[in-house]
């Protein structure tokens, strides 16, 4: 029942002929600084002599003592924390850092503008998602030329019918320096629209309602929510999730009846365990509303008949230690995706009567040590399974009638597929998203009865783009403990050897999130200037199944950092980049990765971008008032237990800053970030600047009007992308303009 965005564009790694089909390089445990030819000297300055280098800001030191487990830590920059975000001294410091950034990047002004213009020029100004049918209507979103935000619209009965505009987010965003809507929900009778709005960047959404018959906004406004909302079948009752006012933890589910005071809404569920997050949903049949409570290792689902909004949510299966599950309904049957006795998950079937008794569940898809199941969708004639096998995310279909299992076809050896939005459980057609490192995001409809695959949409790349001009590769690097880490690689074809090109390695490696290689039209601006781009699928992700995740969390977290360093070394040894021009990039938990990597192997990288980095691990995980802290004890550990405190302290980037040379670094943050508070990167930069022994660039760029995701809007965030690219190009100094391969006559 959602007006969901069209193809998001999650994409893969594609293999290139016989080129590097399997890279087996022992990275070893030696420090790469001793192996590199021409490592950067401690006092090397990458800025040319004709550039005037302004003096960097110097943060004052105000010692603040933390004591835990008999251990004493002194934080000289704790004063930079200001929860109100109004302290003049703090704001002045952040502004001084921004001024310093602009002064250092002044010589790239033309390049930054040129990069932005290039990136935007590749994007089709007029764009529309693939419509989906819900009841008598076809729903879609579209973009108008020059506008930053989408227009949501629909047509009744036929795509040839007149358009009915539901909400223009450009109008809603007017007058705000930041705007984001993460949910738009239509009522069962299609007469009312609910939509969310965040105008700060803290991911605290207000929910508004619009009567689509009159075009008027209703007076009901629900504040401080996750943005999620579900309609009951009476078309006047809605359910939503509020966030804790301090920790921002989603923890309470309320029932609201339109036209009644919001402060009189009924609390229907409160999560008492602050290590759990609470979310709201519905089954695809729209017969049931669901409350999903989940921690990193546990989950629990509650159900309510959508036609009985005054009823009580009933637990499907009570939470159990280390048991994660989700449900999919088809008629009277419920299909359970569960890791019960199945590390990589399996699929079981039950009914509501026996839901709480796992011994009565029937196995549908058994556990497979080599296949990780992500998601399922149950249709009348088939079950769709989104899975990962051999590191590749794909979709498999199980025919209920014949028992035949079919893997959706691909034109490439390596790709990524995701199940799309399929509200009709009786349809023979499944919609899915497809992409690769060289193939733009695509939406397909696959007819399960005929086997016919129809391309519904592929993102346009304007200009002279041709996928044949680029090569992608999936390879493996053997790291210090013998594991083989997958790597996805892409570059532009051309005569210049890869060993003479700048190499950019990207990584994340936490929460089981796998950065499946995706096509990026913006990234072409780096590839066309000679960059080799690699994604290191390090442990902490699920690139090789659930074990790969568990081997990169808690007391095994350092595997993530070691993998990234060893992969970088392996790529350089294989001649896949210029040893003098190696760069690294990561954001959020990937920013933690960057922080750990520059402490461990600073001479390996010429430059590093750390976006919104989670770097003050110990202090943050000890403070349960900071958003996200309590919900992540199963990911990082609880430092109130000494074993976790000691381990965290041994890798926490902020705590491990030392008097040594560091690479050129660009660190970014958002003043209103609710995921990683701005003071973590701000303190980190201040400490680095005080202790590092080199003259390399160290810059902090703070978006004073945004949060974790940076600038909002379709084009505005590309200004930050252009700035990031300009930083890399300033250091790498490859071709000043994109080079193209001469095509044969």
| pLDDT, block means (10 residues), the chain with 745 residues | 30 30 36 29 39 83 98 98 96 97 93 95 93 96 91 96 96 91 95 95 92 96 95 98 91 97 97 94 96 94 97 97 96 97 98 96 97 97 95 94 92 85 96 96 96 96 95 95 96 96 98 93 97 97 96 98 98 98 97 98 98 97 88 94 98 98 97 91 98 97 84 82 97 73 38
* Residue 708 annotated among the catalytic residues of the structure: yes
The span from the CA of 389 to the CA of 531, in Å, is 29
Q: What is the per-residue pLDDT for 25?
A: 39
| 347 contacts 337 by C-beta, under 8 angstroms | yes
The span from the CA of 183 to the CA of 1, in Å, is 11
Q: Say how far residue 231 (Cα) sits from the centre of its chain.
A: 27
| 435 contacts 415 by C-beta, under 8 angstroms | yes
Q: Considering only CA atoms, which of 710, 714, 669 is closest in space to residue 94?
A: 669
* Residue 588 annotated among the catalytic residues of the structure: yes
Taking residue 402's Cβ as centre, other Cβ atoms within 10 Å add up to 10
Strands, E, within 513-614: which ranges?
532-536, 582-587, 607-611
The span from the CA of 121 to the CA of 118, in Å, is 5
The span from the CA of 218 to the CA of 243, in Å, is 23
Taking residue 727's Cβ as centre, other Cβ atoms within 10 Å add up to 25
| Catalytic member of 528, 566, 616, 673 | 673
Entry pTM = 0.89
> Angle formed by the axes of helices 109-121 and 717-732, to 10°?
130
Q: Which residues pair with 127 in a beta bridge?
A: 143
pLDDT, tens digit, 9 for 90 and up, residues 331-371? 999 999 999 999 999 999 999 999 999 999 999 999 999 99
| 537 contacts 487 by C-beta, under 8 angstroms | yes
List, in order of start, the domains of the chain with CATH numbers: 32-120+464-732 (3.40.50.1820), 324-459 (2.130.10.120)
How far lies 56's CA from each of 82, 514, 689, 698, in Å? Answer: 22, 37, 8, 9
| Catalytic member of 40, 292, 537, 708 | 708
Q: Match 């705000």 to its residue by tokens.
A: 176
| 316 contacts 331 by C-beta, under 8 angstroms | no
The span from the CA of 247 to the CA of 626, in Å, is 5
Quick check: helix, strand or coil at residue 32? helix
The span from the CA of 629 to the CA of 85, in Å, is 20
Q: What is the per-residue pLDDT for 12?
A: 27
How far lies 94's CA from each of 40, 84, 122, 399, 472, in Å? Answer: 29, 15, 33, 58, 40
Q: What is the per-residue pLDDT for 739?
A: 62
| Catalytic member of 326, 521, 588, 674 | 588
86: left (phi over 0), alpha (psi -120 to 50) or beta: alpha
Q: Which residues pair with 488 in a beta bridge?
A: 474, 535
* Residue 481 annotated among the catalytic residues of the structure: no
Give phi and psi for 648, each to the nearest 5. -60, -45
Give phi and psi for 618, each to the nearest 5. -65, -50
Taking the C-alpha atoms of 13, 18, 19 and 21 in order, what is their torsion angle to the nearest 10 degrees?
60
| 282 contacts 230 by C-beta, under 8 angstroms | yes
CA 587-299-371 angle, to 5 degrees, is 70
The span from the CA of 412 to the CA of 683, in Å, is 46
The span from the CA of 727 to the CA of 102, in Å, is 11
Q: Match 């999620």 to its residue by tokens.
A: 228
């Amino acid at each position: 029942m959602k007006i969901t965005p069209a193809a998001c564009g999650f994409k893969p790694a594609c293999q290139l002929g016989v080129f590097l089909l399997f890279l087996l390089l022992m990275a070893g445990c030696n420090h790469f600084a001793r192996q590199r030819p021409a490592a950067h000297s401690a006092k090397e300055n990458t800025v040319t002599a004709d550039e005037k280098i302004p003096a960097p800001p110097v943060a004052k030191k105000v010692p603040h003592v933390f004591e835990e487990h008999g251990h004493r830590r002194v934080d000289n920059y704790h004063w930079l924390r200001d929860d109100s975000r109004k302290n003049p001294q703090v704001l002045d410091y952040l502004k001084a850092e921004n001024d310093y950034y602009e002064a250092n990047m002044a010589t790239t002004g033309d390049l930054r503008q040129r990069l932005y213009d290039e990136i935007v020029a590749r994007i089709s100004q007029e764009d529309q998602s693939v419509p989906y049918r819900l009841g008598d209507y076809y729903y879609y979103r579209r973009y108008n030329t020059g506008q930053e935000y989408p227009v949501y619209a629909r047509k009744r009965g036929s795509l040839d019918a007149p358009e009915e505009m539901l909400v223009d987010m450009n109008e809603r965003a007017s007058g705000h320096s930041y705007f984001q809507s993460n949910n738009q929900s239509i009522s069962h009778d299609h007469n009312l629209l609910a939509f969310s709005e965040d105008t700060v960047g803290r991911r605290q959404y207000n929910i508004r309602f619009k009567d689509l018959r009159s075009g008027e906004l209703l007076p009901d406004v629900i504040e401080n929510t996750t943005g999620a909302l579900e309609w009951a079948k009476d078309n006047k009752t809605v359910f939503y999730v509020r966030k804790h006012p301090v920790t921002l933890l989603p923890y309470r589910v309320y029932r609201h009846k339109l036209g009644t005071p919001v402060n009189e809404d009924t609390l229907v569920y409160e999560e008492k365990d602050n290590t759990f997050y609470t979310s709201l949903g519905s089954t695809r049949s729209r017969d049931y509303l669901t409350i999903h409570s989940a921690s990193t290792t546990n989950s629990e689902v509650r159900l309510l008949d959508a036609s009985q909004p005054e009823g009580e949510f009933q637990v499907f299966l009570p939470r159990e230690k280390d048991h994660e599950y989700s449900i999919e309904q088809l008629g009277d049957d419920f299909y359970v995706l569960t890791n019960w006795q199945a590390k990589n998950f399996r699929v079981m079937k039950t009914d509501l009567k026996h839901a709480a008794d796992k011994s009565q569940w029937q196995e549908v898809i058994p556990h497979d040590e080599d296949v990780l199941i992500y998601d399922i969708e149950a249709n009348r004639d088939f079950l769709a399974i989104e899975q990962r096998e051999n590191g590749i995310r794909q979709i498999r279909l199980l025919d209920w009638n014949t028992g035949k299992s079919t893997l959706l076809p691909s034109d490439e050896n390596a790709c990524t597929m995701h199940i799309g939005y399929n509200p009709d459980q009786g349809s023979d057609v499944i919609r899915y998203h497809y992409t690769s490192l060289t193939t733009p995001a695509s939406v397909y409809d696959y007819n399960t009865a005929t086997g016919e695959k129809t391309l519904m949409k592929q993102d346009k790349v304007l200009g002279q783009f041709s996928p044949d001009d680029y090569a992608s590769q999936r390879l493996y690097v053997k790291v210090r403990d013998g594991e083989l880490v997958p790597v996805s690689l892409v570059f532009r074809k051309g005569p210049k050897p890869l060993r003479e090109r700048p190499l950019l390695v990207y990584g994340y490696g936490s929460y089981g999130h796998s950065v499946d290689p995706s096509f990026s039209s913006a990234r072409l601006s780096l590839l066309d200037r000679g960059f080799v781009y690699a994604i290191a699928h390090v442990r902490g992700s699920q690139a090789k199944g659930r074990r790969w995740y568990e081997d990169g969390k808690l007391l095994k977290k350092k595997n993530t950092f070691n993998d990234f360093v060893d992969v970088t070394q392996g790529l350089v040894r294989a001649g896949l980049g210029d040893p003098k021009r190696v760069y690294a990039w990561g954001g959020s938990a990937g920013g933690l990765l960057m922080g750990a990597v520059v402490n461990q192997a600073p001479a390996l990288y010429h430059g590093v971008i750390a976006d919104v980095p989670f770097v003050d691990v110990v202090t943050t995980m000890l403070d349960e008032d900071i958003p996200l802290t309590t919900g992540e004890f199963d990911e990082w550990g609880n430092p109130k237990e000494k074993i976790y405190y000691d381990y965290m302290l041994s890798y926490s980037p902020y705590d491990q800053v030392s008097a040594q040379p560091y690479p050129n670094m660009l660190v970014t943050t958002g003043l209103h970030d609710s995921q990683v508070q701005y003071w973590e990167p701000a303190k980190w930069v201040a400490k680095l600047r005080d202790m590092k022994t080199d003259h390399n660039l160290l810059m902090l760029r703070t978006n004073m009007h945004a949060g974790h995701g940076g600038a909002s809007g379709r084009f505005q965030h590309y200004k930050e992308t252009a700035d990031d690219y300009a930083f890399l190009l300033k250091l790498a100094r490859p071709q000043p303009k994109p080079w193209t391969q001469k095509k044969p006559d």
